[in-house]
């Protein structure tokens, strides 16, 4: 009876040992597989394209000087209407033209001490703004702006608020194609890396789309926008 019990215990111990050994082998293989999946490569793909701006904001600033405030406002109105007629004559739509509130400075209120009296007491500055989708048409009119100077209008500019602005609004239309292009280029880089390292490229572990940037192509062509995006993709590698 004792011999049978001893035999049973030995058999049970043998099977437990065999099971633990198999489990250890399975876990070891699993650890190796996990280790292999830890091998990754991170690459970036760039997509860059040029598009023409589809909106232009063109501020035309002018100034007038008078000693009488009523005459000042009359001059402001005359100059504004002259500029408006010039724009409409050159193809700008009435709905695309707007006027800012005049900015008026009283020079006598700024005088200190016994300095010389200014020639004109009041100086006003106003801006006529063109907001249009006809970018090429507006740029053509810009080349004719000297005609206003010949009519006695004192044009001012140079400040930040007087700069022409070009806007590209179709980003959502071009996003899908550009992201696809950036992702393809990232994969090409990853495949080259895998080939050089005698590895095989696996599935994507994670991917992130970079921020889109829109900038003027150069200072001489602000109406041409360079749209750029960089995608970052992380791939698994295997032997």
- Architecture field, domain 39-53+168-239: 2-Layer Sandwich (3.30)
> What pLDDT does residue 141 have?
95
Query: What distances in angstroms separate CA 158 from CA 59, 107, 133, 164, one per listed residue?
Result: 11, 22, 24, 10
> What pLDDT does residue 172 have?
94
Q: What is the CATH number of domain 55-167?
A: 3.30.70.2970
Query: What distances in angstroms separate CA 172 from CA 9, 117, 186, one per listed residue?
Result: 74, 58, 21
Concatenate the DSSP letters of all residues of the chain into one string.
-HHHHHHHHHHHHHHHHHHHHHHHHHHHHHHHHHHHHT-EEEEEEEEEEEEE-SEEEEEEEEEEEESSHHHHHHHHHHHHHHHHHHHHHTT--GGGEEEPPPEEEEGGGG--TTPPPPS-SEEEEEEEEEEES-HHHHHHHHTTTHHHHHTT-EEE--SGGGS-EEE---HHHHHHHHHHHHHHHHHHHHHHHHHHTT-EEEEEEEEEEPPPEEEES-TT-TTEEEEEEEEEEEEEEE-
> What pLDDT does residue 173 have?
95
d(CA 171, CA 173): 5
Tokens 């062509």 sit on residue: 221
Among residues 160, 94, 97, 159, which one has the least CA distance to residue 131? 97
- Cα dihedral across residues 43, 49, 54, 56: positive or negative: positive
> What pLDDT does residue 37 have?
52
d(CA 156, CA 79): 13
> What pLDDT does residue 110 have?
66
> What pLDDT does residue 32 have?
37
pLDDT averaged per 10 residues in sequence order, the chain, 239 residues:
52 49 45 54 93 96 92 94 96 96 83 68 93 96 91 81 91 94 93 88 87 93 96 89
Domain residue limits, the chain: 1-38, 39-53+168-239, 55-167
> What pLDDT does residue 23 have?
43
Query: What distances in angstroms separate CA 122 from CA 64, 69, 71, 106, one per listed residue?
Result: 8, 7, 10, 5
Residues in the chain: 239
Here the tokens at position 41 are 């490569």
């Amino acid at each position: 009876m004792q011999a049978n019990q001893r035999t049973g215990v030995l058999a049970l111990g043998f099977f437990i040992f065999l099971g633990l050994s198999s489990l250890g082998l399975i876990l070891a293989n699993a650890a190796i597989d996990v280790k292999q999946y830890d091998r990754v490569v991170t690459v970036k793909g760039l997509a860059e394209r040029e598009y023409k701006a589809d909106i232009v904001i063109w501020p035309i600033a002018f100034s007038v000087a008078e000693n009488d405030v009523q005459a000042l406002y009359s001059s402001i109105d005359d100059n504004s209407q002259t500029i408006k007629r010039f724009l409409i004559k050159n193809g700008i739509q009435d709905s695309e033209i707007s006027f800012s509130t005049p900015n008026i400075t009283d020079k006598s209120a700024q005088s200190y001490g016994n300095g010389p009296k200014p020639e004109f007491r009041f100086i006003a500055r106003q801006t006529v703004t063109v907001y249009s989708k006809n970018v090429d048409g507006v740029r053509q009119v810009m080349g004719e702006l000297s005609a206003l100077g010949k009519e006695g209008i004192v044009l001012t500019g140079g400040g930040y608020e007087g700069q022409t602005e070009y806007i590209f609004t179709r980003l959502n239309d071009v996003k899908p194609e550009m992201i696809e292009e950036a992702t393809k280029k990232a994969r090409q880089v990853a495949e080259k890396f895998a080939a050089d390292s005698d590895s095989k490229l696996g599935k994507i572990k994670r991917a992130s789309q970079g921020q889109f940037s829109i900038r003027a192509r150069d200072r001489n062509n602000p109406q041409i926008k360079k749209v750029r995006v960089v995608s970052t993709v992380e791939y698994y590698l295997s032997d």
